[in-house]
């Protein structure tokens, strides 16, 4: 849907109110969510009640048309307290970005209006068990029968899947021949209650345990014609729609990685200040100060890339390189930052009570989610090496 209205930014005061909300509503319970692998649906309901979950919607649909940079600031703030919560927020948003970018229809407008006033979650379903990064070979199919679509297939790693009310599903047109030169891909908005939709159990993950992830099974699922996300003018195929939505989301994940690195630095600074060895606080040791400064500088460099990529995106640029560069470097940065923070805690870094080991577990995901290192490098190489 064409949204040409100017984006709005969160003011410093609004951001500070959001941070207070996270501090009081999220922080006290994150440890428990992580231990139990529990997804706090109620927290997301509160986010919706306060307008945070739908702030990205255009103003005429009940949102504030929030800019990518402001959403990135929200992601950074959320990930400071909980990487998993920010991942679920991003998963929901990823589905909505596809819906909002698709050609406007009365049916989609109804769904958007409903969401602005009623809480529910959405999921974006691209990854399949046999075709991870190799997305051109996905085997979930659609076929047109009697004016509607029939979907068959299996999706994995569906963020929010056990809780979502609707699913944006990427599928390829069912073909009669084994060898297809130009397969057609389309996106469909599948309601949870559709006949033939079923789910796996929540995954037991190493990190981001407060985020729900599961499998989605589609067995002869009938999707009405108006639930196809039609490709807008300027895009060639459903894959463009999916790729553009993911590319925008990568900026937000890179911002979340900054939030996790911020927390690692915060915990390390507090711990090292009070840790006295050889008669001095460890925070006074030049080598230790150097390690913290290095992490901080790398984190701020990634943040500036998020800022650049976000502003470019909102200005209408559709060059994929800035967001892939932000995503690529953010994963490496946060893995290094949390690894050195664990080390600076010594043996206590491996003990749950100190909180730093959780960040270490969470950090690795930023090198995998929404395209692992290899995929980001391939996207950047396409531009860099084709000149
Ligand atoms: C917590 C979590 C939430 C997720 N949420 C969603 C979601 O909501 N929706 C969704 O669709 N997906 C989701 N994903 C899936 C995620 O995007 C994929 O895991 C990711 O894209 C990689 O796919 P894969 O796991 O199948 O790895 P693979 O594609 O099998 O890759 C395995 C490894 O091989 C490397 N590799 C692959 N090809 C090559 C090559 N040609 N040369 C060199 N190296 C290569 C990769 O870099 C990687 O290190 C989620 C994943 C996680 C962990």
Tens-digit pLDDT profile for residues 28-68:
999 999 999 999 999 999 999 999 999 999 988 888 999 99
Model pLDDT, residue 112:
96
CB atoms within 10 A of CB 35: 12
Model pLDDT, residue 30:
98
The full 3-state SS of 105-145, as one line of letters, equals CHHHHHHHHHHHHCCCCEEEECCECCECCCHHHCCCEEEEE
Q: Which residues line ligand 1 (CB under 6 A)?
A: 91, 123-127, 132-133, 157-159, 208, 213, 365, 368-374
Beta bridge partners of 223: 149
Model pLDDT, residue 1:
53
Q: What is the distance in angstroms between the CA of the first residue and the CA of the last residue of the chain?
A: 33
Mutate to test the pocket of ligand 1, among 85, 125, 132 (most ligand atoms within 8 A of CB): 132
Mutate to test the pocket of ligand 1, among 97, 125, 127, 203 (most ligand atoms within 8 A of CB): 127
Model pLDDT, residue 176:
65
Atom of ligand 1 nearest to the CA of 373: 47
Please tell me the distance from the alpha carbon of residue 29 to that of residue 82, in angstroms, as a whole number.
Answer: 10
CB atoms within 10 A of CB 365: 24
Please tell me the distance from the alpha carbon of residue 324 to that of residue 309, in angstroms, as a whole number.
Answer: 9
| Predicted model pTM | 0.96
Model pLDDT, residue 175:
83
Q: Which pair of structure tokens corresponds to residue 158?
A: 């569906």
What element of type H or E holds 352? none
Q: Give the phi and the psi of residue 172 in degrees, each rounded to 5.
A: -110, 150
List CB contacts of 122: < 8 A, sequence separation 6 or more: 91, 92, 95, 96, 99, 160, 164, 165, 166, 167, 168
* Residue stretches of the chain with pLDDT short of 50: none
Closest CA to 169 of 127, 134, 201: 127
Burial (CB count within 10 angstroms: exposed 0-12, middle 13-18, buried 19+), residue 173: middle
Model pLDDT, residue 356:
97
Nearest CA to ligand 1 atom 36: 374
């Amino acid at each position: 849907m064409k949204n040409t209205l100017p984006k709005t930014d969160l003011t410093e005061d609004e951001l500070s109110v959001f941070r207070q909300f996270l501090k009081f509503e999220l922080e006290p319970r994150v440890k428990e969510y992580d231990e139990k692998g529990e997804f706090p649906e109620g927290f997301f309901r509160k986010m919706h009640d306060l307008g945070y979950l739908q702030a990205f919607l255009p103003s005429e649909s009940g949102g504030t048309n929030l800019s990518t940079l402001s959403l990135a600031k929200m992601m950074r703030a959320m990930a400071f307290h909980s990487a998993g919560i920010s991942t679920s927020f991003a998963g929901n948003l990823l589905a909505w970005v596809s819906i909002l970018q698709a050609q406007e229809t009365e049916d989609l407008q109804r769904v958007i209006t409903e969401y602005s006033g009623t809480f529910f979650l959405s999921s974006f379903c691209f990854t399949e068990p046999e075709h991870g990064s190799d997305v051109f070979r996905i085997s979930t199919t659609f076929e047109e029968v009697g004016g509607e679509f029939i979907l068959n297939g299996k999706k994995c790693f569906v963020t929010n899947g056990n809780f979502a009310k609707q699913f944006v599903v990427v599928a390829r047109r069912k073909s009669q021949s084994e060898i297809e030169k130009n397969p057609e891909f389309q996106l469909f908005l599948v309601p949870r209650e559709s006949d033939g939709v079923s789910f796996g159990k929540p995954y037991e993950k190493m990190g981001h345990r407060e985020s729900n992830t599961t499998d989605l099974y589609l067995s002869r699922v009938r999707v009405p014609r108006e639930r196809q996300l039609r490709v807008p003018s300027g895009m060639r195929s459903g894959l463009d729609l999916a790729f553009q939505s993911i590319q925008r989301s990568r900026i937000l994940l890179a911002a979340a990685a900054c939030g996790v690195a911020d927390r690692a630095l915060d915990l390390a600074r507090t711990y090292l200040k009070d840790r006295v060895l050889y008669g001095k606080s460890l925070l006074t040791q030049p080598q230790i100060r150097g390690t913290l400064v290095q992490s901080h500088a790398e984190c701020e460099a990634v943040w500036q890339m998020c800022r650049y990529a976000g502003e470019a995106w909102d200005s209408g640029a559709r060059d994929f390189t800035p967001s892939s560069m932000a995503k690529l470097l953010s994963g490496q940065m946060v893995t290094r930052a949390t690894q050195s923070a664990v080390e600076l805690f010594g043996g206590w870094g491996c003990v749950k009570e100190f909180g730093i080991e959780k960040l270490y577990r969470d950090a690795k995901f930023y090198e995998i989610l929404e395209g692992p290192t290899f995929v980001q490098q391939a996207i950047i190489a396409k531009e860099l090496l084709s000149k």
